[in-house]
Amino acid sequence: MGLAWQQGPLATASVGHFLTPQPMPERILYAEPLRRRMRVKFGDQYVVDSEDVVLLHEPGRYPVAYFPRGDVQPGVLTAEDRVTQHGDLGETRWFSVGVDGREANHAAWEYTALPAHAAVLDGRVAFAWRAMDAFYEEDERIVGHAADFYHRLDIRSTSRHLVVRDGERVIADTHRPVALYESGFAPRWYVLRDDVDESALQPVDGQTFCPYKGLASYYTIGEHKRAAWCYPEAWPEAARVSNLLSFEPDKIDVYLDGSQLHLEPGQTVVPHGVDRGLDTDEILQKTTA
- CB-CB contact of 29 with 118 (8 Å): yes
Q: For residue 188, which of 148, 228, 223 has the smallest C-alpha distance?
A: 228
Nearest in space to 179 (alpha carbons), one of 233, 253, 250, 257: 257
Q: Are residues 218 and 204 in contact, defined by beta-carbon separation less than 8 angstroms?
A: yes
pLDDT band, very low/low/confident/very high, at 285 (cuts 50, 70, 90)? low
DSSP 282: H
With cut-offs at 50, 70 and 90, classify the pLDDT of residue 273.
Answer: low
Phi and psi torsions of 224, nearest 5°: -100, 100
The pTM for the full model equals 0.85
pLDDT single digits (tens) 219-236: 999 999 999 999 999 999
Summary mean pLDDT of the chain: 91
Beta-bridged to residue 54, according to DSSP, are: 33, 66
